[in-house]
Structure 1
Amino acid sequence: MSIKNAVSKTIAYAKRNGVRAAFFAAIERVSDNRKDNYTFTPLSEAVLAEQRKEYKMLAQAGDLVRFSIVVPLYNTPEKYLKDMIDSVIAQTYGNWELVLADASERPLDVAKEYAASDPRIRYYHLDSNAGISENTNRGLEKATGDYIGLLDHDDTLTPDALYEVDRVIRKSMKTNKLVKFSSCPLRLIYSDEDKYDDHSGRYYEHHEKPAFNMDYLMSNNYICHFTVMRADIIKRLKLRKDFDGAQDYDLFLRACAEATLNMPLAAGQIAHVNKVLYHWRCHDASTAANPGSKDYAYDAGRRALQDLSDNYKLNATAAQLKHVGFYRLNYGEDVFSQRGDLGCIGGKIIDKKGRICGGMYLKDGTLAYDRLPEGFSGGLQHRAVLQQDAYAVDVRSLKLRDELIPVFEEVTGRQIDGTFDGLSREDIRDMSIKLGSEVRKRGFRIMWDPQIIKRV
């Protein structure tokens, strides 16, 4: 990020949230920048050759997933357009089509030339510019693949992107003993990503994403890029123009909610590829480089989240947090009657030094955000201030579904409103993880809400 953009972000943050909050945010940002030693290492030619060889064998067997990559174009600079198309052509998995839906005033000659040279590239010049959602929907209508991926016109894919997504699909097909790819239970697959500085040529801000986490998704569009969806689902849901600017977020919310908010778990329907498959280009006009350049997009994201809450009758109000593009759902009194998937909600414990000393526990027993100062957000993705699914939460600060209160009392040996004096930090951890295990055994999820705070 340029110094100019950094200063602009700090000033805007101070105007929204006050000088004190901006001070903590600036300190944390400096700390994060010092820790950001990320380097993207491309795959070797030998590895890419092996992937192409494997694809060739699959093609000879006639056993192939067909991918469509849909890209809405609008006055795309020639360099960006070439880089984007070349990154698709370079895929080691070859059964793809690139659908270019161009809403530019005049047809883009470069795109037409690519389409003329490769039959897998399909170019359509649209008769009008109806906005990002409707333009993309026009492209979706032309797509013929089993799965459809979305790619922005100025970004690029790594050459193994489709290869890695195909591996996930094949694994699911084998596990479920299925033959037709259209029957695969995977509805959405997403990968890690990074950013590419258009001026320096540097890759940075590796976004290493967690496994699927619905409450985290309802806090921000962490799924983002690269995302591939089953064709029947994305064509049914489509993008909605009322949420232009956050149209992808709105789509992902609706697609994932179908698999989670009506059922306890989304096992087998949403998958994460923990590799960088997408480079998000940052230039002066891009949201990646300057989030404040598209404030309307963040309001659209809040409205998309509110729309989801209303449609699922969650009795919650969507609110923006201090950092743009990050949200929370503020629930009414009886959250458990609205969220049948939730069994428990836990908060964070703050010690006398103003640092986290209890709260959300990971599967290995690690305390998430251990010793993080209360005013910090937890890094570039601000996870420490976001509601999210948890493996376990601290028994000293939680809300529990009524039918699970006997489970709490059995695990802890205490009443739900009792004290935990005299127990060590390790005792608290073990007790919390055991309770979390019992809650999940009964088919419920656990949510961590960092705005529930207890001080010790």
Structure 2
Amino acid sequence: MSDLVSIIMPSYNTAKFIGDSIESVLNQTYTNWELIIVDDCSTDDTDKIVNNFKDSRIKYLKNKKNLGAALTRNKALREAGGTWIAFLDSDDIWLPKKLEHQLNFMKRNGYNLSFTDYEKIDEKSKPMNIYVSGPHKVNRSKIYKYDYIGQLTVMYNAKVFGTIQIKDIRKNNDYAILLKLFRRPNTYAYRLKENLARYRIRRASISHDKFIKKLKSHYDLFHICDGRSVITSVFYTCRNMFYGVLKKILYEKRG
């Protein structure tokens, strides 16, 4: 179907939040979408919550065994049939005009990859008064310095990039997808300067890992997933930490 947007939503034990995430998709002003939820053997009430939604555009799949976030994303991406791919984790939220405005932005300008601004919320969906923007344009060099793009705001043209699949790494699999996209020559991601999403900060999330674990996960990203040498992976990891601090200074506004 022309301009069908496939929304990729991996889930694992997010029964507390996934209902709000699904509702934010159902509330989109752009209606030509399919929501592909792949559950990675949740042990909570995720099944019950998802099954409450009766909409033929929602496809709910379950892994037979726990595969981890990377392989779960891969499975959802293989199921996608849309011209456009978008991502929404099962604890994050979109604003109603997210798909409409972003797709119009891309088609109007002939862009194949884009992202938007967003803000952070806490576990109770309360605003944390942190607004995240980004560079006007991200190229291959910039994405290797740091992940300036919020995964919940990414949209790309699947006809141009094909079916993206990444290696099995436990963390940073969203970043790994971006690195894979930027392997295509002359790839640029363009920023739509509009706040269209809510990124949830959870106490148990990867975002709150200890510093050493963060270093290890970034090293694995570059070494295992991107196939870089040990020395190059160490260099990229250290550089990534520096630009992470710079990103907070330049592109995160409080208050």
Same fold (TM over 0.5): yes
Cα distance in 1 between the residues matched to 2:25 and 2:132: 21
Q: Offset at 1:234?
A: 5.6
- Equivalent AA in structure 2 for residue 187 of structure 1: N
Q: 1:254 aligns with which of 172, 175, 180?
A: 180
Structure 2 partner of 1:101: 38
Q: Offset at 1:224?
A: 2.3
Structure 2 partner of 1:275: 194
Pair 305,144 (structure 1): closer, same or farther in 2 beyond 3 Å: same
Cα distance in 2 between the residues matched to 1:207 and 1:309: 30
Preserved contact between residue 303 and residue 318 of structure 1 (Cα < 8 Å): no
Pair 132,87 (structure 1): closer, same or farther in 2 beyond 3 Å: same
- Equivalent AA in structure 1 for residue 76 of structure 2: G
Cα distance in 1 between the residues matched to 2:220 and 2:31: 38
Q: Is 1:380 paired with 2:248?
A: yes
Tell me the secondary structure at the aligned position of residue 277 of structure 1: strand
Q: Offset at 1:74?
A: 1.1
Tell me the secondary structure at the aligned position of residue 318 of structure 1: helix
The number of residues matched between the two structures is 244
1:409-453 Cα offsets, whole Å, 9 max, x none, are xxxxxxxxxxxxxxxxxxxxxxxxxxxxxxxxxxxxxxxxxxxxx
Preserved contact between residue 11 and residue 42 of structure 2 (Cα < 8 Å): no
Structure 2 partner of 1:113: 52
Pair 132,309 (structure 1): closer, same or farther in 2 beyond 3 Å: closer
1:252-299 Cα offsets, whole Å, 9 max, x none, are 122124234xxxxx4xx53221112221112221244x343x854542
TM-score normalised by L of structure 1:
0.48
Between the aligned residues of both structures, percent identity stands at: 21
Cα distance in 2 between the residues matched to 1:108 and 1:205: 32
Cα distance in 2 between the residues matched to 1:309 and 1:72: 25
Tell me the secondary structure at the aligned position of residue 326 of structure 1: helix
Cα distance in 2 between the residues matched to 1:379 and 1:74: 29
Structure 1 partner of 2:85: 148
Cα distance in 2 between the residues matched to 1:232 and 1:202: 36
CA RMSD in angstroms, aligned pairs only: 3.0
Cα distance in 1 between the residues matched to 2:125 and 2:103: 33
- Equivalent AA in structure 1 for residue 155 of structure 2: V
Q: Which has the higher contact order (CA 8 A, sep 6+)?
A: 2
Preserved contact between residue 319 and residue 327 of structure 1 (Cα < 8 Å): no
Structure 2 partner of 1:205: 130
Structure 2 partner of 1:299: 216
Tell me the secondary structure at the aligned position of residue 248 of structure 2: coil
Preserved contact between residue 199 and residue 283 of structure 1 (Cα < 8 Å): no
Q: Which runs of 4+ in 1 moved over 4 A?
A: 232-235, 306-309, 314-317
1:339-350 aligned within 5 A: none
Q: Offset at 1:97?
A: 0.8
Structure 2 partner of 1:29: none
Cα distance in 2 between the residues matched to 1:72 and 1:316: 27
Structure 1 partner of 2:163: 236
1:83-98 aligned within 5 A: 83-98=20-35
1:309-348 aligned within 5 A: 310=228, 318-321=235-238, 326=241
Pair 247,83 (structure 1): closer, same or farther in 2 beyond 3 Å: same
- Equivalent AA in structure 2 for residue 193 of structure 1: Y
1:58-69 aligned within 5 A: 64-69=2-7
- Equivalent AA in structure 2 for residue 209 of structure 1: G
Q: Offset at 1:101?
A: 0.5
- Equivalent AA in structure 2 for residue 380 of structure 1: K
Tell me the secondary structure at the aligned position of residue 68 of structure 1: strand
Cα distance in 2 between the residues matched to 1:164 and 1:97: 17
Preserved contact between residue 239 and residue 247 of structure 1 (Cα < 8 Å): yes
Q: Is 1:162 paired with 2:99?
A: yes
Q: Is 1:220 paired with 2:137?
A: no
TM-score normalised by L of structure 2:
0.82
Pair 381,101 (structure 1): closer, same or farther in 2 beyond 3 Å: farther
Cα distance in 1 between the residues matched to 2:134 and 2:70: 25
- Equivalent AA in structure 1 for residue 221 of structure 2: A
Tell me the secondary structure at the aligned position of residue 94 of structure 1: coil
Preserved contact between residue 74 and residue 166 of structure 2 (Cα < 8 Å): yes
